[in-house]
Structure 1
Amino acid sequence: MNNEALNELLKKGDEHSFALIFETLYQPLVAYLMQYVGKAADAEDIAQNTFIKLWEKKDQLDLDTSVKSYIYSAAYNLFIDTYRKKKKQETYLDQLKNETLISLSEEPEDSLEHKLLLISKAVDSLPPRCREIFIMHKKQGYSHKEIAKQLHISTKTIEAQLRIAYTRLREELKNKPDLYLTLIFGKRLNSI
C-alpha cells in the first residue's frame, strides 16, 4: 500500500481503515525498532504504543508527510523516551547499590557479622524449597535455567519461588532496608 493510500485511510478515521494501516506498517515498524532494542518484545511494545498514540491523535493530525514517516518518527521518539527512563532508573539503582556497599564496607567488623547473621536468619526462615532455590541463585550463582534443570522444575516455578523469597525477605527485613538491599544487589552471598 503506498503512502497516499495510507494517508487517505488515516483521514477516514474509522476502525477498519486504522486496522489496514496497522496491518501494513506494524511488522516493518517492529523490524525497524529491532535495530535499536535487543528484544523483539520491547520492539513490539514500542510499536504497539506508537499505534495507540496514532489512534488517540488521529483526529488532530494534519500530516504534511506520510503516515509511514510519521509513525516511524513517533516510534523512534518513543524509543528514546523509554531508553532515557531506563537509563535514569539504572543510574539510580547503581547509585543506591554503591551507597549500600560503601556503608557496609565502612562498618566495624562485629557490626557486619551481626548483619550477616540477621540475613542468614531471614534466609533460614524461608520455606525449604524457596530457601533452596534462593541459595542456589544468590549464593551459588546459578541461573534460573540451571536451577530448573537441576531441580527438574520449570523456570516459571523458579521465578515464582524467587518472588516469594524476595517478598518474605523484604517483610522480614523491613526495619533494616540496608540488609534487604544487600540481599538484592549482592551478586553472590557466600556468607549466608
Structure 2
Amino acid sequence: MSIKTDFNENAVLIEHLIKGEEKAFMFLIDSYHKKLHTYALTLIGNYSIAQDIVQNVFLKVWKNRKRLNSNLLISSFLYKSVYNEFINEYHKNKKVIILQQQYYDSLSEVMEEVDIETYEILSSLVTEEIKKLPPKCQKIFILSKKEGLTYNEISEYYNISVKTVEAQMSKAYTIIRNKLGDKYKTIFIILFEKNINVLH
C-alpha cells in the first residue's frame, strides 16, 4: 500500500515541485488560487487583471520550479510574487494606483506573527463591516467569500450579468477597506483565506 504524500508540509511540497510533479503543482493551485486572487483584487481592483496576475504567478512558478529554494516559505513567496506582478502591471499600464511598498511587507509580517486573540478581534471588525454593506452588495459578497461561489455562479443565481457581480464585489471591497483603514488592509486579505461567519 502506497503512502500518500502530504503536500501540506511546506518542504515536501517544494521538493516535489522541484522534481516537476504535476500533482504537487495542482495542489499548489488548488490551495492558493482563490487566496491569491483575493489579494490581487485588493491591489488592482479589477477582476480580470487580478486573474491574469495570479495565472502569471503560477506559470512562472512552474517554469522556474528547479530554481526554488527548499527552505522557501511557499505562502510568503506566492504573495510576494503577486505583489511583484502587480507592480509590473502598474508600470505597463501606467494606471493611477496608490502604491504602498509597506503593504506587502506588513502582509508577510502579519501572516507570521498575528496571534489568535488579535485575529479574532479583527475578524469581528470585518464581520461587522460586512453586515453594514448595502443589501445587494452584501448578499453577493457573502455568496462569493463565505459560500465560495464563482462570479458566473452568482450571476446565474441572481440572473444578473457577471459584470454586475464584479462591480458589486469591487464596491464591497472598496467600502470595507475604506472603513477599516490602512491598518487592517493586510488582515482583511488573510481573513478571507478562511470562512468568516456572517449572517445572511
TM-score category, normalised to shorter length: 0.3 to 0.5
Q: Which structure exhibits the higher relative contact order, with contacts defined as CA atoms closer than 8 Å and separated by 6 or more residues?
A: 2
> TM-score, normalization: structure 2?
0.43
> TM-score, normalization: structure 1?
0.45
Larger radius of gyration: 1
